Chains A and B, each alone.
Chain A
Amino acid sequence: MSSTNVAPSPGTASAGSLEKEDSTGRRWRRFLQLLSRYGTLTGLLIMVVIFSIAAPDSFLTTTNVINILNQSALTALIAGGLTMALVVGEFDLSIGYLASLAGVLVTGLIVRQGFPIWFAVLVVLAVGAVIGAINGALVTKARVNAVIATLGVGTILIGLGFGYTSGAPISSGVPDGFLRLSLGELFGLPNPIWIMAGVLALLWVVLNRTDLGQRIQAVGGNIEAARLSGIPVDRIKIIAFVTTGVCAALTGVLLASLLGSGTASAADSYLLDAFAAVFLGSATLRDGEFHILGTLIGVIIINTGFNGLSIFGADTFYQYVFKGGILVLAVALSTVARRYSRA
């Protein structure tokens, strides 16, 4: 790396607002910043320690760790996609419904239309891209608020899913090859883990090591500054929505393969999991910024919690309490992190 010290007198640069703040305020702020940056990781660590002590034989075993990662894979895919929409400064509430539709569509295309598996998957991913583009166009060109636009599109997708299946799951005649997509293994690890790793790595590279990714971050960071720098902000936003849509469709395809059927509302609940994970991730290591690594950690935290609860045989309602609690906590942490880092 080239030299880091550009200025002869580095002290002069920051001698601005910081000096005026009294030391207690600064210490409190520093504490909150540390809490929000490392709080989530500490939480994960505490959870692991407690579960390991409470269930030494079942929690911290290779099988269970692989199990947690495998359960995390689908959430991580959809949440990774969602991260792109959030980084660009928008919202996407259609992802769960899009994943559900992708599930019925891919099984339907294979079972009813007799499409080869690879081709059906490709078609469904393209559908995900188109729906992402529609979301993006509504937000940028028609200037509909992203929450409303994607909620509306998502609701239409629910309708389409039910229309396509007539309400009954598509389950008979699903070929083994399609099931192997999610149940197969490579080098001892289930396929979904490999797919998750590949897709998240790709998203990370795009976001951090490409021109496009830098532009996505600039648009999300300050849209006016991005526009005045000559960045085509509408196009960048649409691209981010397309990425989100493709990831959601992929999640839906893998879920259908895992379940062995296409059900019209199978993936709906992934919406909340994804949001909880992404917001939890934004308060991890960074100050309220959405980022791919954070999202992955967020997903793992949530699934570790689920896994522990089910090992203890906790009732289903605890899982909902946990999930809702995590979502609210995550958003609060992320907001606090942002406030105290940029005040």
Chain B
Amino acid sequence: MPSADTAPPLVSVKGLSKHFDGVRALAGVDLDLRPGEVHGLVGANGAGKSTLIRCLAGLTSPDAGTIEVDGQQVSLETPKAAGDLGLAFIHQELNLVPHFDAIANMLLGRPKPSRLGLVDWGRARRPAVEAGRRLGVTFPLDRRVEELSVAQRWMVSIGRALVANARVIAMDEPTASLSGAECDRLFEVVRDLAASGVAVLYVSHRLDEVLDLCDTVSVFRDGRLTRRVSRGELEKSGLIREIVGRELAPHEPEVESAAAPAREVPVLEARGLSRGLVQDVSFVLRRGEVLGLGGLVGAGRTELARLLCGVDRPTSGSIRLAGTEVVLPNVAAAVSRGIGLVPEERRSQGLVLHRSVAFNINIADQRPLRLVPWLPLLHMGRARARAVELSQRLGIKTSNVDQPVSALSGGNQQKVLIARWLTRERSVLVLDELSRGVDIGARGEIHAIIRELARSGTGVIAISSDVEELVALCDRVVVMAEGRVTGELEGAELTEEAVVALSYAHARPNQEVSA
């Protein structure tokens, strides 16, 4: 292996900063990447890893800072510019054309030699075959990508980078859906690439493999590169502390919420719920409690919420509401039993954007708004009054409930979605990523609303990728990793560090997935 410390950097990032809508995503990040180096990027969700990679891939342009390649300052305005400089990026979704074969995918977008205006496939496929040989692939390269396993698709994607003569290959969560043996094979390939002088940027939530594979690990927190760790310098526990960033006082349970009535009564029980990513999830939600669901993006929390709210049906396991087993064939069934969902993607899944605040609040239950109960005619004054009343109660800042909901800020839109479920009787409210895109002031108000709801007897499930928020808001937190529950924290045990540690816990040993 070439000495990674002494070689001049292939890519040198200096003072890179990026803001999105006033939210800091990257703040003055310096990072050198040397030929032959495997460089790990770790950090919580939203810590800045992806933004850095997107800047290098030409998908996002930074607000400030410079990027140098081979000592020359470059401007990576487009993905093509990045590709021309030998930077290749492999996304988790892989972006392959499913019905093209492996060779055609590796050659995608490359100029192909032609004869008489027709592609000369005999010559064109040579670099792809060569890349396949270099990667030691064992499957036939003329097989369609849709017939290949995930691990084989990764090989095709890496092959594509090799065909493009990439000198830097960034990999985003490459092992997320690979079996143990497939991971080992991938690590071998990564080490071979490094040995041949390619620099690898390796993004992963699996800290064990990062520590094992990478020469250098950069830790990101709140948009900053907070620590650079060389091989052998830190253990996993030390790395987790770096990711969390500080020692924190244990969670102090709130006095009022501890005094809430009938807390021990379970309103919802999940027993062995499974579907797709979600595997054998069990937990109890008690009346009047705010239960947090922690874990990394992709841990299966949203998928679990969908099972609880009747969006998807579990393939096995059961849901009990107030002690009775229920089947939720669709959302309407869940809603009629008092379960409401505030979805993750507010704009695409929650709101009818061009309609008014009142319309969006009232849509889940209009029956009480009828002129007379037996006639399906609505009393528009009553509808409006209900919207005004709820807007005032939740502090929704809008000049007028007839204003389109699209004109509201993220926090106020979120309140509209919560107000929607206050229009009807409910026992369970599930909020997915409850304060994504919500400014800090509105966040506090939403937390107050949620606690008030819990006090009045609703069982609240709060999903958040913000660990600090979970610890501050919730009475109890269930943490998931890779689709399974890895732990449950309450009282003094509920600390940010404990949540993060459980988020990175390997819920299961890598099982052999047949290729």
Q: Which residues from chain A sit less than 8 Å from chain B, CB to CB? A: 1-7, 9-10, 12-16, 205, 209-212, 214-215, 217-218, 221-222, 224-232, 287, 289, 341-342
Across the interface, do A228 and B385 meet the contact criterion of CB distance under 8 Å?
no
**How many residues of chain B have a CB within 8 Å of chain A?**
50
B362 within 8 A of A: yes
Cβ proximity bits B343-376 to A, threshold 8 Å, 1 near / 0 not: 1000011111111000100111011011000001
B238 within 8 A of A: no
Across the interface, do A214 and B363 meet the contact criterion of CB distance under 8 Å?
yes
B336 within 8 A of A: yes
Across the interface, do B354 and A289 meet the contact criterion of CB distance under 8 Å?
yes
**Within the complex, what minimum Cβ distance (angstroms) separates B359 from chain A?**
7
Bound-state CA distance A289–B352 (Å) is 13
Q: Which of A6, A214, A215, A341 contacts B391 (CB 8 A)?
A: A6
Smallest CB gap from A6: residue in B: B391
Q: Which of A1, A3, A225 contacts B349 (CB 8 A)?
A: A225
Bound-state CA distance A221–B311 (Å) is 19
Q: Which residues from chain B sit less than 8 Å from chain A, CB to CB? A: 309, 311, 330-332, 334-336, 341, 343, 348-355, 359, 362-364, 366-367, 369-370, 376-378, 380-381, 384-385, 388, 391-392, 396-403, 406-409, 412, 420
Across the interface, do A211 and B407 meet the contact criterion of CB distance under 8 Å?
no
Which residues on B sit within 8 Å (CB–CB) of A6?
388, 391-392, 396-401
> A-B pairs with the 6 shortest C-beta distances?
A230-B335, A10-B399, A221-B352, A211-B366, A7-B397, A229-B364
Q: Which of A5, A15, A209, A214 contacts B400 (CB 8 A)?
A: A5
Q: Which of B332, B376, B403, B409 contacts A211 (CB 8 A)?
A: B376
Q: Which of A210, A212, A225 contacts B352 (CB 8 A)?
A: A225
Across the interface, do A229 and B397 meet the contact criterion of CB distance under 8 Å?
no
Bound-state CA distance A176–B134 (Å) is 88
Across the interface, do B400 and A230 meet the contact criterion of CB distance under 8 Å?
no
Across the interface, do B398 and A10 meet the contact criterion of CB distance under 8 Å?
yes
Which residues on A sit within 8 Å (CB–CB) of B391?
6-7
Q: Which of A13, A214, A226 contacts B409 (CB 8 A)?
A: A13
Q: Which of A4, A12, A224, A232 contacts B330 (CB 8 A)?
A: A232
Which residues on A sit within 8 Å (CB–CB) of B359?
214, 217-218
Which residues on A sit within 8 Å (CB–CB) of B401?
4, 6
**Known A-B contacts A211-B370, A221-B352, A224-B349; A229 and B420 likewise in contact (beta carbons under 8 Å):** yes
**Within the complex, what minimum Cβ distance (angstroms) separates A57 from chain B?**
46
Across the interface, do B334 and A210 meet the contact criterion of CB distance under 8 Å?
no
Bound-state CA distance A232–B332 (Å) is 6
**Known A-B contacts A1-B384, A5-B400; A214 and B378 likewise in contact (beta carbons under 8 Å):** yes
Most chain B CB within 10 A, of A10, A210, A225, is at A225
Bound-state CA distance A215–B369 (Å) is 14
Which residues on B sit within 8 Å (CB–CB) of A227?
311, 331
Across the interface, do A342 and B400 meet the contact criterion of CB distance under 8 Å?
no
**Known A-B contacts A5-B400, A210-B376; A222 and B351 likewise in contact (beta carbons under 8 Å):** yes
Which residues on B sit within 8 Å (CB–CB) of A210?
376-378
**Known A-B contacts A224-B349, A227-B331; A13 and B399 likewise in contact (beta carbons under 8 Å):** yes
Across the interface, do A7 and B398 meet the contact criterion of CB distance under 8 Å?
yes
Across the interface, do B407 and A13 meet the contact criterion of CB distance under 8 Å?
yes
Bound-state CA distance A12–B311 (Å) is 35
Across the interface, do B352 and A211 meet the contact criterion of CB distance under 8 Å?
no
Most chain B CB within 10 A, of A13, A15, A218, A342, is at A13
Across the interface, do B332 and A287 meet the contact criterion of CB distance under 8 Å?
no
Bound-state CA distance A15–B409 (Å) is 8
Known contacts A211-B376, A230-B332; 16 additional CB pairs below 8 A are A3-B388, A6-B392, A6-B397, A13-B408, A16-B407, A209-B377, A214-B359, A218-B359, A218-B363, A222-B353, A224-B348, A227-B331, A228-B309, A229-B331, A229-B364, A230-B334
